[in-house]
A and B are shown apart, each in its own frame.
Chain A
């Protein structure tokens, strides 16, 4: 029961979705069933994310309760979770500050704390990427040199000063370089990776549907 039922459910779910590919989703029963299952998947996926939220809260609560290292900071994490989430799940018919509409606590916290902090976090990476670039761009061999030249050209093309500099070259050289790098080599590698990853995903999907791949169940 503990392992057979999940394998049977995975097979049935996968089988219906594969079969439904060959049917019209609006006019046939199988097509309609696949749309319903997709909806079910979104609902379960939502609960899975909530599971993650509960897990984060439990871990932080345990750290505060046991006064583990850095527990004072975790109080702020817990407070932030509560301040952001509780007003958002309450109906805004009770108060304009509740819910997720413009002018709510949720909206204010998102606009004036969460979004700027997220932008700052990613902006901080500019400094670390510069340090990574120094290490990656040293022309030690042919491959590293190719990386250096391509990255430099791409960065130059994206700023007005660089574009003006590249336009100093005669004829259509900058245009052809851009075409062969971005629409040639870069596109080819993207396609190669897409084809490889898609074939891998398809074969892994088949293994899951047939019950060969069961690692998602965990142990026990």
Chain B
């Protein structure tokens, strides 16, 4: 018996962190389903077992459901067993499995609407579908009785969905599955879904396949398990096969004591081998950046973003003035320098960030003055978040930069 064990495809998943670009990673999950079927064909698998959470929710749009169904229907040579999970539980007539088109699937697609054993090749698949989103019960318990009714000459494969009962790693209501659930039920293999990172327990008989498509940065996932069981009682051979469309990569670019340039960013990204158009990239910018370099940085990132599937920039830099620029500003535009210093002080009062330039030679804005100024301007001090101060610094620093250049030229 050779089959593909996967779970948590979560078609229709949400990626709010990407805003308007969320559609790209979402669409990828449907592509991944097709990719899994392709892998099954390549591996000549007897079946594909989807151990729960094929869909993100029972209430995703019909278009996505229909598309997924079409993908399955397009591969009639590959038997597919679908187990409802906690995201798409078998909880009533409104669930995906009770509605069209899955209410009447083609012969090669089996939706586990009950615990009825399903014969596949020389094995019997014993499913325990999930009927509610949360439960403190171990869904693998019925497998003991179910497996007891199967003759010993058949390979017994259990299927269910829930967290692994590892202390401190699961919620009590997360349908915890005992780590020896396969042995306890005398199963040859127990296919489990829920956690997105692949892992194996119970002497290689209980496996969490992990999600076939990553949905977070630095998540060790994006594969399916190819499982081979030669005969009843024999130990399964599990091989993880890549299935992901996108590689999620996060790079941190620290600008401290560095001149921002496209090279800095590309150098950081090159650590991964995935092509840019198959990468969801997060660029985290930290450290100080001078006004004269910020523009360079922004245009460099814009250029890079064109090549990558999705790019998200977390800009945590702070605008600073170089010492020479600051001195020139102090000398030529004392009032502007005073404003820069005042913004630094106000930022200190409101956010605790210390000023990045030495303002000791300038009159210090007092807390009372800051409060009074805000009152006069009808601004609540808590409205002034760090981003607002950063915007102030950027506005001022840009002008200081221009003026500083002018001074230098003079």
Say whether A associates with B: no
Interface of A with B (CB < 8 Å)?
none
Interface of B with A (CB < 8 Å)?
none
